[in-house]
């Protein structure tokens, strides 16, 4: 008999509403409630997902009234800490959208609280469930590329995408680059970063409190050199929603992951754009793609099955390296790790 987990989602915005929609249609989950300080927004999202889905204005109200197996936190990153601590203290498993927190100190507190309570903690690094990156990692693990020599990653998007939703709330690197940081650390298992040098610009987006681009070079303990590039400054009319790729050169082979073209290109008299077919494409009113696969895997993980969902400890390593990039970009100095 399939276990059905009682689930709540904190945050009814862009990502939280998709989490809620996926859990509401997942046979192994029962979506119990949605939480948002904007209670009208929470009620609006809940009403679309079933008459039994409740809405709460705070996680305190949620925990006082519901018995839960899993809570998914989709709030802004700097607001992860207190809900995570309170949920763990109740003995409830946690899934937190990336990064684990906005500061290393908060990240450690969340990991320690979940360990002390004996609950599971997963972090939403979606690209681990993108089959292109998953298969690339298999090439490394199989030995077909030999020893990694050099990796190049790129994740650039239009100024009307991320900055419109998140500008000024966190550095570009914590919104965007951290995705590729997690992938590289996941792929270079057994190696650790030893130094990082980064530069950034804020010519275009500085007035809204964020960066146009950041570029970083990281040396790993096994000798592998990694170049990270992220930008939020492509023109509004850029063809790609996310112009992303990864290239690896090894001693025995190489690979390229190309994520710019989605396979579906649309243009009219106002715009032109690749339409997402990978990460969270809509099939009618149902969310699919990597995000659905990730949350489905989280439920399997709770049921004792293996999963590539990022752990709290892995998320801390990603946060520490990304924060080192930011420090280097701000100081202009090499950071030794």
What is the structure's pLDDT at 333? 98
For 63, the 3-state DSSP assignment is helix
Q: Please answer whether residues 154 and 260 qualify as being in contact, where contact means their C-beta atoms are separated by less than 8 angstroms.
A: no
C-alpha triplet 241, 247, 249: angle, nearest 5°: 180
Q: Is the pLDDT of residue 287 over 60?
A: yes
Q: Is the pLDDT of residue 10 over 60?
A: yes
The residue among 274 and 33 whose pLDDT is bigger is 33
Rounded to an integer, the average pLDDT of 245-251 is: 98
Q: How confident is the model at residue 1 (pLDDT cuts 50, 70, 90)?
A: low
CA nearest to 87, candidates 109, 63, 106: 63
CB atoms within 10 A of CB 330: 11
What is the structure's pLDDT at 212? 95
Q: How far is Cα 146 from Cα 104, in angstroms, rounded to an integer? A: 33
Q: Please answer whether residues 55 and 43 qualify as being in contact, where contact means their C-beta atoms are separated by less than 8 angstroms.
A: yes
- Model confidence pLDDT, tens digit, residues 142-161: 999 999 999 999 999 988 88
Q: Is the pLDDT of residue 40 over 90?
A: yes
The residue among 263 and 112 whose pLDDT is bigger is 112
| pTM score of the predicted model | 0.95
Question: What is the 8-class DSSP label of residue 170?
Answer: S
Q: How far is Cα 273 from Cα 260, in angstroms, rounded to an integer? A: 11
Which of 163-167, 169-173, 197-201, 272-276 shows the highest mean pLDDT? Answer: 197-201
- What value does the mean pLDDT of the chain take? 95
Percent above pLDDT 70 for the chain: 99
Task: Examine residue 201 and say whether the peptide bond preceding it is cis (omega within 30 degrees of 0).
Answer: no
**Cα dihedral sign for 140, 146, 151, 157?**
negative
């Amino acid at each position: 008999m399939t276990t059905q987990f009682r689930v709540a989602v904190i945050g009814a915005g862009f990502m939280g509403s998709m989490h809620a929609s996926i859990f509401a249609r997942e046979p192994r989950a029962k979506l119990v409630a949605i939480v948002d300080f904007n209670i009208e927004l929470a009620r609006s999202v809940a009403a679309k997902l079933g008459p039994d889905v409740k809405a709460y204005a705070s996680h305190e109200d949620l925990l006082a009234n519901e018995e839960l197996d899993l809570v998914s936190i989709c709030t802004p990153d700097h607001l992860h800490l207190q809900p995570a601590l309170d949920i763990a203290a109740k003995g409830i498993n946690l899934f937190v959208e990336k990064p684990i927190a906005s500061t290393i100190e908060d990240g450690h507190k969340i990991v320690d609280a979940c360990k002390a309570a004996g609950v599971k903690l997963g972090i939403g690094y979606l690209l681990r469930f993108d089959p292109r990156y998953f298969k690339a990692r298999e090439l490394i693990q199989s030995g077909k590329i030999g020893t990694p020599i050099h990796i190049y990653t790129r994740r650039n998007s239009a100024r009307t995408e991320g900055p419109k939703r998140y500008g000024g709330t966190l550095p570009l690197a914590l919104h965007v680059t951290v995705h590729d940081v997690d992938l590289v650390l996941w792929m270079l298992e057994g190696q650790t970063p030893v130094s990082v040098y980064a530069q950034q610009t804020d010519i275009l987006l500085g007035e809204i409190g964020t960066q146009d681009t950041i570029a970083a070079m990281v040396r790993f303990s096994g000798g592998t050199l990694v170049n990270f590039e992220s930008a939020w400054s492509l023109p509004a009319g850029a063809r790609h929603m996310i112009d992303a790729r990864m290239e690896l050169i090894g001693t025995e082979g190489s690979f390229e992951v190309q994520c710019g073209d989605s396979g579906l290109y649309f243009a009219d008299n106002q715009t032109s754009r690749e339409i997402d077919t990978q990460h969270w494409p809509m099939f009618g009113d149902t969310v699919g793609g990597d995000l659905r696969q990730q949350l489905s895997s989280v439920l399997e993980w709770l049921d004792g099955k293996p999963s590539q969902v990022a752990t709290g400890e892995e998320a801390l390593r990603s946060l520490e390296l990304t924060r080192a990039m930011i420090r280097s970009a701000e100081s202009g100095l090499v950071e030794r790790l």
